[in-house]
Structure 1
Amino acid sequence: MQDTFHGVIAFALLAGLLVIGSVLRNRIHLFRNMLIPSSIIGGLIGFSLLSLGWIPGYQSSDFTALTFHFFTLSFMSLCLTGTSRQASLSGGSIMRGGMWLTIIWTISLGLQGVLGYLVILGYDAMTGAGVSEWLGAIVTHGFTQGPGQALTYGGLWEGEYGIEHAAQVGLIFASVGFLVAFAVGVPMAKRFINSGLNANKASQLDDNFRSGFYPADDSPVAGRMVSHPASLDSLAYHLGLLAVAYVITHIWLVFMQGVVAGAEPGGINLDVLFSHNLFFLHGLGVCVLMRLIIDRLGMSHRIDDESLKRITGSSVDFMVVGTLMSIQFSVLYALLAPIVLVAISVTVATLIICLFIGRLSGKLGHERALTSFGCCCGSTGSGLLLLRMMDADFSTSVPKELAFFNLAIILSTFHILFIFAPLVPSLGGWGYFAVFGGTALLFVAVIPLMLFWRPSTSAGTVATKGVTS
C-alpha cells in the first residue's frame, strides 16, 4: 500500500500549507494589513520548500495534475450552482451590467495575448535571446483565464507544436496574475472605500476580514443539509453530483475521440479539441446541461447552492497553492527577464482597461472595475474576493452581473476557447493577431453601442442562471 501514498501525501501537503497560510495570515500583522489570501501564503511557502529541496521525494511536477483537477472541479461546481439571490443595490439591468463585465474580460483576453507576443518579439530583437513569442502569448491564458487554462493550452502547445516550457511559463504567469490581482487590487479597493466611491456604505475592512477567521459567537452559517445523514452525508451527495458530471464528461470525450480520430476539416485538428486537456470546457457544458435538466424537472430543492459554492471556493484555494508549487524554479530563473517584462506590460494595460471601461459603465462602475481587474488577473474567485471588500454582504447587483458574465464570456470567446486557443502556434503571427487582436477590437467597437443601450427596468429582474462562488 505504500506506493499509493505518494499522490495522497501530495494532496495532504496542499491542505497542510493552506492551514499554515491561514495561521500566518491571522498572526502576522503585515499579512493581515495586506489582506494576502492564505492560499497564496501557503503556496509561496511550498514553492520555496520545493525549490530548496526541503520536501524529500517531491518536486514541482507532482502537483501539476492536482492543480489541473482542482481547477476543473472549481469550474464544474461553478456551473452546477444555480441562481444567486436578488441584490438590493442595483446598478441597472443585470444583463447590461454583466455585458460590461463581459466586454472588459473579452478585450483583455485578446489584448493580453497580443501584447505578450509583441513584448517577447521586441525582447528577442533587442537581446537576440530567441525566446518563443508563444511563451509571451500564453500570458493571457495565465492572467485572464487562470492556471487551469494555462496548463491546458500550454500542455497542448508543448505536445503538439513543440513550444518548450509552454505549460510551465503559463503556470508562472497564472501565479504572477494572482499576486498582481491582490497587490494592485487591494490598494485600489482601499482607495475607493476611503474616497467613499463604493455604493454599499456598510462595507468596511473589519477585524474578521483582516484576521481571516470568524469569532466563535459570530460565525456565519453556510449551506443546508439536503440528504439525511442516516442515508448519505450532504457534502458527499454534492461531491457525488460532480462525480457523475466528471464520469459523463470522460465518457463523452472517449466517445468523441473515436469519432473524430484523424479528422482535420479546414486544417483544424479535431483530436486536439476533444483531448482530455480540454476536460474543463466539456465538463462545463455537461454541468450547465445537468443544472438545466434538474431545474426543469423541479428538483432544484435537491441541490444546495451554498454547498456547491463551498466546493468551488475550496477547489480554488487548493488550485492556487498547487499552481505556485507547480512552478519549476529553473524555468523561472532562465526566463525571468522576459516574464517580468510581459507581466508588467499586461498588468498596466489591464488596469487601464478595467478603470476606463468600468467608469463608462455608469452606476457601480468602481465595483465593476475592481471585480474585472481581479477576474482578468486571477480568476472569478479573486474578482469576487476583491468585490467583497467594497460590497461585503453582496448587496449590490454586481455579484449577479458576475453570474451572467460567467456564461456570457463562453459565448463571446467561444471561437477562441473551443477552436483557436488549442491551435495557436499553427496560426502564425498574423493569424494570431487577426483572431485575438480582432476579437479585442470587435468588442471595443461594441462600447459605443453599450452607452446607448438602456433596457427596461424589468430586464434587470429576470433570473439569470449562473453562479457567484
Structure 2
Amino acid sequence: MHDSFQGVIAFALLALMLWLGSLLRNRIPLLRMSLVPASIVGGVLGFALLSFDVLPGYSPGDFTTLTFHFFTLSFMSLCLTGRAPKSDQLGGGSIVRGGLWMTLAWSISLGLQGVIGYLMITGYDAFTGSDISGWLGAIVTHGFTQGPGQALTYGSIWENEYGVANAAQVGLIYASLGFLMAFVVGIPVARRYLKKGLNANQASRLDASFRQGFYAADNDGEVTSPTMGRMVSHPGNLDSLAYHLGLLAVAYVLTHLWLTFMQGVIGNASPYGIQMNVLFSHNLFFLHGLGVCVLMRMVIDRLGFSHRVDDETLKRITGSSVDFMVVGTLMSIQFAVLYALLLPVLLVSVAVTAASLIGCVLIGRMSGKLGYERVVTSFGCCCGSTGTGLLLLRMMDADFSTSVPKELAFFNLAIVLVNLPILMVFAPIVPSLTGGSYLLIFGGSALFFTACLPLMWFWSRRGASPLSSAWKSSTRVPAIGAASSKPRFSKGAAS
C-alpha cells in the first residue's frame, strides 16, 4: 500500500498549499490589500519549497498530471452547467452577442501571441547569438490563451513527436507566468472599476470579507455567507456532491471510450500530412470532453431532468478545480528550466501581456453594456484560462448575477468552433511548419478576426433599436443599489 500514497500525498500537498495560501492572504497586509488569490500564494509557496528541496521525495513532475486533470475537470464541469433564467441576470442583452465579443478578443490573441512569441525569440537569438528554438516562443499562446492543460498537451506533442526540447516545461512556465500576469495586471484593473462603481452588480464591492478572504462572523458568532447550492439527492441515499461528481465521471468515461474507439478507427492515418492519431489522443482529452459535456447537458435538458442537476454545485466544482489547477501549475515548474530561459521567457511574457491588455480593453469598450466585466474576463482568459477569467470576473460579479458567466460558457464552445483549424489541425503539428508558414497561418488568423470587429460593432448597434431596447428594459432586473445616473459607456451598444 505504501506505493499508492505517492499520488494521494501529492494531491494532499496541493490542498495544503491552498490552505496555507488562504491563511497567508488573510494575515499578511500586502497580500490582503493586493487581493492576490490563495491559489497564487500557495502555488508560489509550493514552488519555493520544491525548489529548495523542502518536500523530499517529490518533484515538479509529481504535480503535472494532477494539473492536467484539474484543468480538464474545470472545463467539463463548466460545460455541464446549465443556463440561468434571464430574470436572475443583470444587464440583460444577448448572451450570444456578448460571448462573440469575447470570442473575437480571444481569437485575435491566439494568433497574435504566437506571432509575438516566435518573433521575440527569433530576434533574441539574432541579438545575443543564442540558439533557442523559435517554437519555445510560439508556445506562449498555448500557455497564455489556453492555460496549463493545453500548454502541457501541445508541448508534450512538440517535444515527443518533433524533438523540441523542454517544450512541455516551457509551456507550463508560460502558463504560470500567464496566471501571474493576469492577476498582477488584471486585479488592479478590476479594482479600479470597482472603486468607480462601473460594475453592473453593485452587490460586488471591496468589503471586509473580500479583502480578508473569509466571511466574518457577527456578534453572536454566526457566519452569514452565500449558500453553496441545493441538495439534489437525499443524503439517506447519496450525498449531492457525490452525485454531481458522478455526472462528471460519466462524462469522463464517455470521453475515454470515444477517444479509444476513434484511435482504433483511424489508426496511423495522416491525410494531407495531418497526424489524426494526435488529434484523437488523450492529450486532447479536454477538447473532446467539452463536446461530450455540452451534449450531455442538452440531453438532460431535453429529457426534462434539469431539476436533477444543481448548477451552483457544478460552479463550486469548477471553482475548486481552478484553484487546484493554479497551485498545481506553479508547483509543476522546474526551476532549472526557468533559470536557463528566464530572460527570453520574461521578455515574451511582458510583450504578450501588453498586447493582450490593449486588445481586451479596446474590444471590451466596443462591446457596450457589461463591457467592463468583459474587459477583465477576456484579459483573464487571454492570460491564463477560462478559470482565470472567472476568478477576475468574480471580483466584479461575486455571485455571477450578470449574463457574462453564461457568455463565458458560450465563449468556450465558440472559440473551439471558430478556431477549429488552428486548434485541431495546425497547433499539434506547428514544429513541422516553416517559420514563414507559421507566421502566415497564425498572423493571418489574427488579422481575419480583427477585420471582423467592425462587422460585429455594426451588428451590435443594429441590435440597439428602440423596440429592442424597450423590450430589454421591461425584462431587465435592475442592479442592486446601482446608481442610475452613472454612465457605463458613452457610445454603448447592445451587449
Question: What pairs up with 1:66-215 in 2 under 5 angstroms?
Answer: 66-86=66-86, 88-90=89-91, 92-215=93-216
For 2:333, the equivalent position in structure 1 comes to 327
1:310 and 2:316 equivalent?
yes
Structure 1 CA distance for aligned equivalents of residues 109 and 92 of structure 2: 23
Q: CA deviation at 1:91?
A: 6.1
- In structure 1, what is the Cα distance between the partners aligned to 2:94 and 2:76? 27
Would you say the 8 A contact 1:91–1:364 is kept in 2?
Answer: no
Task: Supply the distance in 2 between the matched residues of 1:264 and 1:302 (Cα, whole angstroms).
Answer: 43
Contact 2:124–2:130, Cα closer than 8 Å, also in 1:
yes
- Counterpart of 1:338 (choices 338, 344, 347) is 344
Give 3-state SS (helix, strand or coil) of 2:433's partner.
helix
Q: Does 1:424 align with 2:425?
A: no
Specify whether residues 460 and 60 from structure 1 end up closer, same or farther in structure 2 by C-alpha distance, changes over 3 A only: farther
Contact 1:93/1:460 (8 A) holds in 2: no
Q: Which residue identity lines up with residue 360 of structure 1 in the other structure? A: M
Give CA deviations for 1:152-204 in whole Å, capped at 9, x if unaligned.
Answer: 11011101101111110010111111111111111112222333433344431
Query: Which of 368, 385, 391 is the matching residue for 1:362?
Result: 368
Residue 365 of structure 1: how far off its partner (Å): 2.1
**Offset of 1:399 from its aligned partner?**
2.5
Whole-angstrom CA distance in 2 between matches of 1:81 and 1:415? 27
Match of 1:455 among 451, 463, 468: 463
SS in structure 1 at match of 2:228: coil
> In structure 2, the residue corresponding to 1:54 is in which secondary structure?
coil
Deviations 1:373-398 (A, max 9, x none): 11111122222222232333433332
Partner of 2:402: 396
Aligned mates of 2:206, 2:193 — CA distance in 1: 12
Cα deviation, 1:338-357, whole Å, max 9, x if unaligned, reads 10110010011011101111
Shift in Å, 1:436: 1.4
Instruction: Work out the CA distance in 2 between the residues paired with 1:269 and 1:460.
Output: 48
Instruction: Deviation per CA, 1:290-349: give whole Å up to 9, x if none.
Output: 111111111111111111111111111111111011000000000001101100100110
Residues 1:225 and 2:226 aligned together: no
Following TM superposition, by how much is the alpha carbon of 1:362 offset from its aligned partner in structure 2, in angstroms?
2.1
Deviation at 1:428, TM superposition (A): 1.9
Deviation of 1:434 after TM superposition, in Å, equals 2.4
Deviation at 1:363, TM superposition (A): 2.6
1:32 matched residue in structure 2: 32
Number of residue pairs matched by the alignment: 461
Distance in 1 of aligned mates of 2:242 and 2:175: 31
Alpha-carbon separation, structure 1, partners of 2:434 and 2:357: 28
Shift of 1:75: 1.0
Distance 1:392 1:90, change over 3 A: same
Contact 1:91-1:398 within 8 A present in 2 as well: no
Whole-angstrom CA distance in 1 between matches of 2:250 and 2:394: 32
Paired with 1:300 and 1:286, the residues of 2 have a C-alpha distance of 17
TM-score (norm 1): 0.95
1:64 Cα deviation from its structure 2 partner: 0.6
CA distance in 2, matches of 1:139, 1:402: 22
- 2:478 corresponding residue in structure 1: none
Structure 2's unaligned 5+ residue stretches are 217-221, 474-495
Among the aligned pairs, what percent are the same residue? Answer: 70
The equivalent residue for 2:353 is: 347
Query: 2:429 is aligned with what amino acid?
Result: L
Give the 3 Å change call, closer, same or farther, for CA 203–271 of structure 1 in structure 2: same
* In 1, Cα distance between equivalents of 2:92 and 2:351: 31
2:194 and 2:206 in contact (8 A); partners too:
no
Q: In 2, distance between residues paired with 1:221 and 1:200?
A: 18
The answer to whether 1:278 aligns with 2:284 is yes
Residue 312 and residue 460 in structure 1: after superposition, are their counterparts in 2 closer, same or farther (change >3 A)?
Answer: farther
Q: Separation in 1 of the partners of 2:472 and 2:73? A: 30
The answer on whether the counterparts of 1:106 and 1:413 sit within 8 Å (CA) in structure 2 is yes
**1:460 positional shift:** 7.8
Deviation of the 1:450 alpha carbon: 1.2
* Stretch of structure 1 that moved more, 297-306 or 358-367: 358-367
Runs of 4+ in structure 1 over 4 Å off: 458-461
For residues 390-428 of structure 1, what are the alpha-carbon distances to aligned partners after superposition, in whole Å with 9 as ceiling and x for unaligned? Answer: 333433332332232122112121112222111111122
List gaps (5 residues or longer) in structure 1.
Answer: 462-469
Q: For 2:191 and 2:214, how far apart are their aligned partners in 1?
A: 20
Q: Contact between 2:90 and 2:401, CA under 8 Å: does it hold in 1?
A: yes
Sort the Cα spacing of 1:266 and 1:25 in 2 relative to 1 into closer, same or farther, 3 A. Answer: same
Distance change >3 Å, CA 4–CA 140, structure 1 → 2: same
- The whole-number CA distance in structure 2 between the counterparts of 1:424 and 1:269 is 12
Residues of 2 paired with 1:228 and 1:88: CA distance? 29
| TM-score normalized with structure 2 length | 0.90
Once superposed, what is the RMSD of the aligned Cα atoms? 1.7
| Matches of 1:157 and 1:460, distance apart in 2 | 49
